[in-house]
């Protein structure tokens, strides 16, 4: 089973998709928290 994300032009396994979305959330948090520190 595979979920296609048109904007990424790639297909991901559900577990990969979860990990990628989790990574995206973490990078957003890092950017938000890193900005005041800088």
pLDDT, tens digit, for every residue of 3-33?
A: 555 444 455 566 666 676 777 777 777 777 6
Could you give phi then psi for residue 10, rounded to 5 degrees? Answer: -140, 160
- 12: which strand partners? 3
- The kind and range of the H/E element at 5 are strand 3-5
* Distances 18 to 23, 25, 36 between C-alpha atoms, Å: 9, 11, 28
Nearest Cα to Cα of residue 24 among 2, 5, 37, 1: 5
Strand partners, 10: 5
pLDDT on residue 36: 63
Is 35 or 10 the better-scoring residue by pLDDT?
Answer: 35
More confident residue, 7 or 34: 34
Instruction: Note the pLDDT of residue 27.
Output: 75
């Amino acid at each position: 089973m595979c979920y296609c994300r048109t904007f990424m032009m790639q297909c991901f396994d559900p577990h990969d998709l979860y990990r990628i979305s989790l990574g995206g959330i973490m990078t957003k948090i890092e950017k938000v928290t890193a900005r005041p520190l800088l």
